[in-house]
């Protein structure tokens, strides 16, 4: 799905931005939930594993959807573990 779409819009960055906006606008809460679950589990609803490209594309769509529709505290990055970068090693 994304490969065909990507080839159609690679010519112009403004076209890419407009196409991404249009694509994100078409994501329903149900589609978002399915994409998020697929990213979390590494598998589609039917049990098939996501390819590396599918995982990357799905994660990008989840992040873009969340940026547009959710408060920052509800987004996927808010649930990621924090690294030790916040701590000063002595």
**Tens-digit pLDDT profile for the chain (90 aa)?**
566 656 655 556 677 788 888 999 999 999 999 999 999 999 999 999 999 999 999 999 998 999 888 788 777 766 666 665 555 544
Q: Torsion over CA of 68, 74, 75 and 79, rounded to 10 degrees?
A: 180
**Residue 85: predicted pLDDT:** 53
* Residue 12: inside a domain: yes
Q: Which domain range does residue 54 map to?
A: 2-72
Residue in the structure block whose two tokens are 């906006």: 21
Total of domains in the chain = 1
Report yes or no on whether pTM surpasses 0.75.
no
In 3D, which of 76, 75, 61, 70 has the Cα closest to residue 31? Answer: 61
Residue 81 lies in a domain: no
> What's residue 20's pLDDT?
85
- Report if residue 43 sits inside a domain: yes
Residue 62: per-residue pLDDT: 92
In a domain, 31, yes or no: yes
Hey, which bits of the chain come out as E strands? Answer: none
Whether residue 79 lies inside any domain: the answer is: no
Whole-number pLDDT of residue 75: 74
pLDDT value of position 89:
47
């Amino acid at each position: 799905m994304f490969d065909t779409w990507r080839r159609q819009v690679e010519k112009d960055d403004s076209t890419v931005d407009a196409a991404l906006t249009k694509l994100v606008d078409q994501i329903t809460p149900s589609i978002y939930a399915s994409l998020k679950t697929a990213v979390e589990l590494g598998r589609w609803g039917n049990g098939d594993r996501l390819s590396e490209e599918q995982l990357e594309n799905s994660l990008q769509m989840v992040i873009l959807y969340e940026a547009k529709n959710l408060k920052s505290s509800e987004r996927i990055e808010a649930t990621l573990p924090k690294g030790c970068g916040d701590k000063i090693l002595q």
